[in-house]
């Protein structure tokens, strides 16, 4: 691979990690006409990207040397650290920028940002909040955190990924914090849905029969989210419609029905337990949002 000039580095991108999301990122950069260099730990994983015009690097240090901006998208920070903290890679990255789109905790993001600063590496953290199929389309959602000037410098290249890009602040861990909170919603909700389908099936209702009514429940959620956010930020928990005492009773019905069919009810039982504790603490007349305070203080 010939040594890149400063001019080519400004219109070039390196992508480290070629799982489904990494390949989608590389494809979007290629579609935007950017010189795209790729590297993946597993040999042969780059074939799809190379067939579309990407340059295959022989090593991670060669990959990061090819561009002024390296985008990392691997399973977690253990995986990204194992690449970026190789002595040769770290040396090659000095003075260049890394945008780490790997998922991990806010604490890991902050530690990585501190390490990068010590090494003279310019560093941004980020999170992708939509599936790989949305990359390169208007439907992608990207969150970024870290030095704003650095983000603005590289935003024209990041815009090649399509969708919306939001800079959340200078705190390098802020994107990961949003990611954790939003994925908490997703996985908890989807686990609840899987449980609902199991209960419905046990009662002779197919998943497809339930699905239209489940959609109706889903449509109630966005305004409920907005109302709950106002209540939590204002600390105004007094119930106007559905007090915790009533919610706990409804949850108990779900637990009993589930366990009567031999279905694991641990998730909804945990929710019921929280609601019961709140009632015991004298909050039976409050909204479900009171649980935010209860969980926050570890009661």
Q: Which fold does the domain 6-171 belong to in CATH?
A: Rossmann fold (3.40.50)
Distance from C-alpha of 125 to C-alpha of 187, rounded to nearest angstrom:
22
**Which of the 8 DSSP states describes residue 54?**
P
pLDDT digits (tens, 9 = 90+) for 118-148: 999 999 999 999 999 999 999 999 999 999 9
Domain boundaries, the chain: 6-171, 206-296
pLDDT of amino acid 100: 98
pLDDT of amino acid 29: 98
Q: Is 50 exposed, middle or buried (0-12, 13-18, 19+ CB in 10 A)?
A: middle
Of 1.10.645.10, 3.40.190.10, 1.10.1040.10, 1.10.10.10, the CATH number of 206-296 is 1.10.1040.10
pLDDT of amino acid 11: 81
pLDDT of amino acid 8: 42
Both tokens of 278, joined, read 């709140």
Domains 6-171 and 206-296 share a fold: no
pLDDT of amino acid 228: 96
Residue ranges, the chain, pLDDT below 70: 1-10, 298-299
pLDDT of amino acid 193: 98
Tokens 């009567």 belong to residue: 260
Q: In this structure, how many other beta carbons lie within 10 angstroms of the beta carbon of residue 296? A: 9
pLDDT of amino acid 299: 45
pLDDT of amino acid 174: 98
């Amino acid at each position: 691979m010939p040594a890149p000039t400063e001019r080519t580095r400004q219109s070039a991108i390196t992508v480290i990690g070629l799982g489904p999301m990494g390949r989608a990122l590389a494809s979007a950069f290629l579609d935007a006409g950017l010189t795209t260099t790729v590297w993946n730990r597993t040999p042969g994983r780059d074939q799809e990207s190379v067939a579309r015009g990407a340059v295959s690097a022989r090593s991670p240090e060669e990959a990061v040397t090819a561009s002024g901006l390296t985008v990392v998208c691997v399973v977690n920070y253990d995986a990204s650290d194992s690449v970026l903290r190789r002595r040769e890679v770290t040396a090659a990255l000095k003075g260049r920028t890394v945008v780490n789109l790997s998922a991990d905790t806010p604490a890991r993001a902050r530690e990585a940002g501190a390490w990068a600063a010590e090494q003279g590496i310019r560093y941004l953290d980020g999170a992708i909040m939509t599936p790989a199929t949305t990359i390169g389309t208007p439907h992608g959602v990207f969150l970024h955190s870290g030095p704003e000037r650095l983000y603005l410098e590289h935003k024209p290249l990041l815009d090649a990924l399509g969708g919306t890009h939001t800079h959340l602040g200078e705190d390098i861990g802020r994107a990961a914090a949003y990611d954790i909170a939003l994925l908490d919603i997703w996985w908890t909700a989807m686990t609840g849905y899987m449980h609902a389908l199991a209960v419905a099936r046990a009662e002779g209702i197919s998943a497809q029969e339930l699905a239209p009514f489940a959609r109706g429940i889903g449509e109630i959620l966005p305004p409920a989210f907005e109302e709950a956010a106002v209540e939590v930020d204002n600390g105004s928990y007094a119930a106007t419609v559905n007090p915790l005492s009533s919610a706990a009773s409804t949850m108990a019905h779900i637990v009993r029905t589930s366990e009567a069919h031999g279905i694991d009810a641990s998730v909804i039982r945990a929710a019921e337990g929280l609601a019961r504790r709140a009632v015991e603490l004298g909050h039976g007349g409050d909204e479900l949002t009171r649980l935010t305070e209860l969980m926050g203080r570890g009661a």
